[in-house]
Amino acid sequence: MDGYIHSVESFGTVDGPGLRFVIFCQGCPLRCRYCHNPDSWAMGKGTRMSPQALMEQYERNRAFYDGGGLTVTGGEPLVQIDFLLELFALAKEKHIHTCIDTSGATYREGPSAYNDKLDRLMRLTDLVMLDIKHIDPPAHEALTGMDNSGILAFARYLERRGVPVWIRHVVVPGVTDDEQALARLGRFIGGLDNVKALDVLPYHTMGEAKYAQLGIPYPLEGTPPMSREGAERARAIILRSLMEERHRLKTNA
């Protein structure tokens, strides 16, 4: 089962624990206004690569990945679940740490052939890095073009499966930095017992040049980058509400 691959990074440092071999999958159902890889949106494009060929690339530098492993990101990797199943099966045969960086946008609750595959994939997955774009459903749809109900349900699914999760949230001035929304996000995360880390990432404008090259308008033109101090403030708000929610749940247990 070949995958459609946007690109590969041999030595990723921000895509999971340790030094990692990072596979950027092609295709994404979301249209995030701050996306810096719009060339990864189209389905069925990119370079076709087999799991075996990608594992061969991994093995060439395996000595460097001690304490690290393999991460698939995107685009949205879960749109290519059959490819991921084969890739991760090969990785686990070689005792490689596996990570998926996903928005969870493909998930829908209830019995389905897709969810049966997802169950199998989660048994091969050591870590999920889950991007929660916005906790508010209308604001999420305005930001990404899609409601977030399936994404939040996916977070709860991962908790039921006992899959370790790192939460990622990008803070955009005037878009995702509302204090009440950040607090609600913290309460949601505080209700999950499998969350191991929280990354709050400041919005940057480095993607503007790529939009210009592709001849498409940049959705957040004029929006300034988020300062590091602003991102730290947002993280503090989320963490405060997270800890308050965990304390409430423990008290009421």
Cα distance between residue 133 and residue 230, in whole Å? 17
State residue 202's pLDDT score.
97
d(C-alpha 29, C-alpha 76), whole Å: 7
- Determine whether 15 is exposed, middle or buried from the number of CB atoms within 10 Å of its CB (0-12, 13-18, 19+): buried
Average pLDDT per consecutive 10 residues, the chain (253 residues; last block may be shorter): 96 96 98 94 96 98 96 97 98 98 97 98 98 98 97 98 98 97 98 98 93 94 96 98 97 89
Contact 75, 6 (CB under 8 A): yes
Q: 3-252 in CATH: which number?
A: 3.20.20.70
DSSP reduced 3-state for 218: coil
CA 225 to chain centre: 21
Which pLDDT score is estimated for 253?
80
Total-model pTM: 0.96
- Cα of first residue to Cα of last residue in the chain, in angstroms, is 47
State how far the Cα of 94 lies from the Cα of 96, in Å rounded to an integer: 6
Give me 109's structure tokens. Answer: 């609750």
Strands (E), the chain: 3-12, 20-25, 47-49, 69-73, 98-102, 127-131, 165-171, 195-202
Domain ranges of the chain: 3-252
